[in-house]
Amino acid sequence: MLSLSVVCRAAHDLLIPVFYHSTTFPTAAKLSAFISTHNVLEERLRSRFLLVENVYIGHTPSIRGDLDYTSTVWPITAIGQLFWLCRHIKRLTLLYLNARKWPKIAHTIPSTLESLAIGPIHGHFTPQSLCQQPPLRHFTSIHTPMSDAEVLDTATYPTMRRFRRIFDPNGMDAMLALDQIDLLKDSTSLEQSEIVICGSEEATNAAYVLAKMKLMEMGLEGNKWVVIDPEFRVSWIRLLYNEFQNYRKEYILQVT
Nearest residue to 231 (alpha-carbon basis) of 207, 210, 248: 207
Q: What is the pLDDT of residue 11?
A: 52
Mean pLDDT of 119-128: 95
Q: Is a pLDDT exceeding 70 seen at residue 168?
A: yes
Q: What is the pLDDT of residue 5?
A: 47
Decide if 74 contacts 98 (C-beta within 8 A).
yes
Among 97-106, 111-120, 141-150, 171-180, the range scoring the smallest mean pLDDT is 171-180
Mean pLDDT across the chain: 90
Q: What is the pLDDT of residue 224?
A: 59
3-class SS of residue 81: helix
Mean pLDDT of 31-50: 96
The architecture of the domain spanning 15-255 is Alpha-Beta Horseshoe (3.80)
pLDDT band at 197 (very low <50, low <70, confident <90, very high): confident
| Per-residue model confidence as pLDDT tens digits over 172-196 | 898 899 889 888 887 889 998 988 8
What is the Cα–Cα distance from 213 to 209, expressed in whole angstroms? 6
| Per-residue model confidence as pLDDT tens digits over 43-84 | 999 999 999 999 999 999 999 999 999 999 999 999 999 999
Decide if 172 contacts 180 (C-beta within 8 A).
no
Q: What is the pLDDT of residue 234?
A: 67
Q: How many other C-beta atoms lie within 10 A of the C-beta of residue 92?
A: 23
What is the Cα–Cα distance from 243 to 222, expressed in whole angstroms? 26
pLDDT band at 7 (very low <50, low <70, confident <90, very high): very low
Decide if 108 contacts 80 (C-beta within 8 A).
yes
